[in-house]
Amino acid sequence: MGYGFWDRIAHVDLSNMAVEYESPGEAFFRKYIGGGCLGSYYVLKYVKPGTDAYSPENVIVFAPSVVTGAPLPGFARHSAVSVSPLTGGIADSEAGGFWGVALKSAGLDAIVVKGRASKPVYLWVKDGNVEIKDASHLWGKHNADVLREVEKELGERGLRILGIGPGGENLVRFASIACDIHDMHGRCGLGAVMGSKKLKAIVVKGTRKPQFKDEGKLVKIAKDFASRFKSYPGQLRLHQWGTTITTKLFSTGGQLPTFNWRSGVFDGVDKIAGDFIETIMDVKKTGCYACPVRCKRLVGAREPFEIDQEYTSLEYESMAALGSYIGVDDPYIVSKAIELCNKYTIDTISLGGTIAFAMDCYENGILTEEETDGLELRFGNKDVVIPLIEKIVKKEGIGRLLAEGSRRAAQAIGRNAERYAVECKGVEYPAHEPRVKRSLALVYSVCPIGADHMASEHDPSIGPDAPDVNLERIAILGINERLPWFDLDGRKVRFAYYTMIAYSMLNSLDICMFCMAPTRGLNYSEVVEAVSAVTGWEVSLWELMKVGERRLNMMRVFNVRSGVDSKEDRLAEKMYMPLRGGIHEGRFVTREEFEEAKRIYYLMSGWDEEGVPQPWKLIELGLDWLL
């Protein structure tokens, strides 16, 4: 045991119903640190290239980091890493809340699950030990109900649960994993991986407090954050509204994805913006462990139909995907759809993107009403949203096709349907517009897990109108100039590359970007101080950035070996088409600028012209075991 880690990793083999424990030592934790980096290590170590996501030979890793559970804002997250059912490559998804802290407090640094159980099971974790228990009676139930039953069964209170609902059980390719009730591992379909293993849930009781080297320093950092975080406009807005107000801000700014990325402006946006929803529904503010930002918004209603506040957590991505993507401006329908997604455990972003794709195909004569079970899949038709969700979760009729995600659905449909699928590597685009935030055209394409808006800093943070404090805080990364939003030149590639490494570092430390530089409270120097205060290691930003770079290169190696290579680093066809409406009407990305940006990114990364990490790069990162 060291400061910040127990030196205890559980390996669970569901095929043989066996659990073993590993103590890899302090050097291992300093090198891989936790989260997505540690998870990628085990996926590379145990999963053969080309292994199907649903194979018993696939593994899924649940890992906090060495700093998870420190009493600091944003230090509550954990990662889930596996092979994605959507991409066939590596998947890494983070979630906040309390589950990751509970796992750490239960005496484990990670859980590595392989195999497939013969019947549904759940894992019971307490005092550093894992038991495999029967979950046959829990299959088909929602997380809140499962938790209540398990607490009675075990005679325990104060448990934390990570689990799947019918979406994961039925192998919807974009199924999510719920942590407690509404903190989600949303992207990449990892809920379906749990479903394929018949793993219903992991239930945790945290009874141990991790040891931190310098708790006084951690308290000081936390107090400093609390005293100033509201002074940053972006963070103050998160505190006041969460992300729910972003729909309105982005539509005004001409960058709200609307009608399957046809437009950047949505006329009905006021009805699905957070400030309006707070006037018509019951809204409860909540947040994650030790965080004063409290950015989550739980909503409930009784009329015109019941919306269950226990499950309905509103945030921008979900509201856009199930609102403007499909042209629906009814706040009750959007909120009910989000509730069902959280109950059934399916990703709101991929769901909205897939429905938007289907609507585009329908309006362009590629899908007929006979093929859609009589549903009129026109943009703005709110009456089809809930029936479609039910069909997708149950894989009935058109739902069986759409449960595969937009890429596979397009391939099955044919008739040039691929041009309407806005995805990369099979993962639907999140609600940030690459034709406006130009660096995202590159980031979405080269990101190892597919399109991910949390893989880098966004262009406005260093744009012409960005606050001076942003430039002051990001300068520590070597970024010291303002850049136009709409450029995609070498300077913008450098911005994307450096901040991708920084965000990869944060995804390895499992620190929330909503609490981080340059537009929010903590700065990079404080992160270094916090890691040192937790572990006692004399770390530097250089060392931590190398962890981020190590993670990106491990993920890239796994993908290349699995056939997810440079041909998959592509931009959705719609990004080459001009935006319609709003202040950015007519903007698009050219193929030439995109391909040149990708070429430069490969060179900066130490990869060859096909995007393969070169041997010297792997040696430099201490990854020569991959050669």
Three-state DSSP string of 47-107: CCCCCCCCCCCCEEEEECECCCCCCCCCCCCEEEEEECCCCCCEEEEEECCCHHHHHHHCC
Q: Average model confidence (pLDDT) for the chain?
A: 97
Q: In the structure encoding, which two tokens stand for residue 300, read together?
A: 């409930």
Query: What CATH number has the domain spanning 243-427?
Result: 1.10.569.10
Decide if pLDDT at 229 tops 90: no
212: Cβ contacts below 8 Å, ≥ 6 apart:
3, 4, 70, 218, 533, 534
Decide if pLDDT at 520 tops 90: no
Tell me the mean pLDDT in the region 493-508. 98
Decide if pLDDT at 365 tops 90: yes
Q: Does domain 439-570+590-626 have CATH number 1.10.599.10?
A: yes
d(CA 455, CA 346): 21
Tell me the mean pLDDT in the region 488-497. 98
Between vectors from CA 105 to CA 101 and to CA 106, what angle results, nearest 5°? 115
Alpha-carbon torsion (76, 82, 86, 88), positive or negative = positive
Instruction: Give the burial class of 441: count Cβ atoms within 10 A of its Cβ; 0-12 exposed, 13-18 middle, 19 or more buried.
Output: buried
pLDDT in tens, 377-435: 999 999 999 999 999 999 999 999 999 999 999 999 999 999 999 999 999 999 999 99
Instruction: Give the burial class of 404: count Cβ atoms within 10 A of its Cβ; 0-12 exposed, 13-18 middle, 19 or more buried.
Output: buried
Any idea which residue has 């020569």 for tokens? 624
Residue type, 428: E
d(CA 509, CA 29): 11
Q: Where in the chain is the domain with CATH 1.10.599.10?
A: 439-570+590-626
Q: Where in the chain is the domain with CATH 3.60.9.10?
A: 9-205
Q: Would you state the pLDDT for residue 232?
A: 85
Q: In the structure encoding, which two tokens stand for residue 252, read together?
A: 């005004």
First to last CA, the chain: 31
Q: Would you state the pLDDT for residue 285?
A: 95
Any idea which residue has 């209540």 for tokens? 148
Tell me the mean pLDDT in the region 268-272. 97
d(CA 567, CA 564): 8
Q: Would you state the pLDDT for residue 517?
A: 85
Q: Up-side HSE of residue 59: CA atoms within 13 Å toward CB?
A: 23
Q: Up-side HSE of residue 417: CA atoms within 13 Å toward CB?
A: 25
Per the CB < 8 A criterion, the answer to whether 584 and 435 are in contact is yes
What share of the chain in percent tops pLDDT 90? 97
Q: Would you state the pLDDT for residue 36?
A: 98
Q: Would you state the pLDDT for residue 98?
A: 97
Q: Would you state the pLDDT for residue 509?
A: 98
SS3 313: strand
Q: Where in the chain is the domain with CATH 1.10.569.10?
A: 243-427
Q: Would you state the pLDDT for residue 292?
A: 94
d(CA 62, CA 85): 17
Tell me the mean pLDDT in the region 166-192. 97
Q: Would you state the pLDDT for residue 43?
A: 98
Query: What CATH number has the domain spanning 9-205?
Result: 3.60.9.10
Which ranges constitute the DSSP H helices of 229-330? 233-241, 246-252, 274-280, 316-321
Q: What's this model's pTM, rounded to 2 decimal places?
A: 0.98
DSSP class of 346:
B
21: Cβ contacts below 8 Å, ≥ 6 apart:
8, 9, 10, 11
Using pLDDT thresholds of 50, 70 and 90, give the confidence band for residue 224.
very high
Q: Would you state the pLDDT for residue 1?
A: 79
Per the CB < 8 A criterion, the answer to whether 74 and 512 are in contact is yes
Q: Would you state the pLDDT for residue 227?
A: 92
Strand positions, DSSP E, 287-327: 296-300, 313-314
Q: Would you state the pLDDT for residue 472?
A: 94
Instruction: Give the burial class of 223: count Cβ atoms within 10 A of its Cβ; 0-12 exposed, 13-18 middle, 19 or more buried.
Output: exposed
pLDDT in tens, 530-577: 999 999 999 999 999 999 999 999 999 999 999 999 999 999 999 999
Q: Which helix (H) or strand (E) holds 225?
A: helix 215-228
Decide if pLDDT at 234 tops 90: no
Q: Which helix (H) or strand (E) holds 438?
A: none
Q: Is the peptide bond before 304 cis (omega within 30 degrees of 0)?
A: yes
